[in-house]
Amino acid sequence: MTVLTLVTIGLLAGVIGAALGVGGGIVMVPGMVVLLAVAQHTAQGTSLVVIVPTAIVATAVHARAGRVDLTLAMWLALGGVAGGVLGAWTALGLDGLVLRRLFAVVLVFIAIRMLRSTRQSTPKAAESGPDA
> Containing H/E element for 5?
helix 2-20
Q: Which residues contact 7 (CB under 8 A, 6 or more apart)?
A: none
Interface with another protein, residue 34, by CB under 8 A: yes
Interface with another protein, residue 98, by CB under 8 A: no
> Containing H/E element for 84?
helix 70-93
Interface with another protein, residue 92, by CB under 8 A: yes
Listed residue (41, 37, 12) closest to 24, CA to CA = 12
Which of 1, 17, 95, 98 binds another protein (CB under 8 A)? It is: 17
Eight-class DSSP state of 66: T
**Interaction with another protein in 47-66: which residues (CB under 8 A)?**
47-59, 62-63, 65
Interface with another protein, residue 95, by CB under 8 A: no
Binding flags for another protein, 65-84, as an x/- string (CB under 8 A): x-xxxx-xxxxxxxxxxxxx
The neighbour count for residue 105, using CB atoms within 10 Å, is 9
Interface with another protein, residue 1, by CB under 8 A: no
At its nearest, how many Å lie between another protein and the CB of residue 1? 12
At its nearest, how many Å lie between another protein and the CB of residue 121? 9
Number of residues lying near another protein (CB under 8 A)? 105
**Composition of the chain by helix, strand, coil, percent to 5:** 85, 0, 15
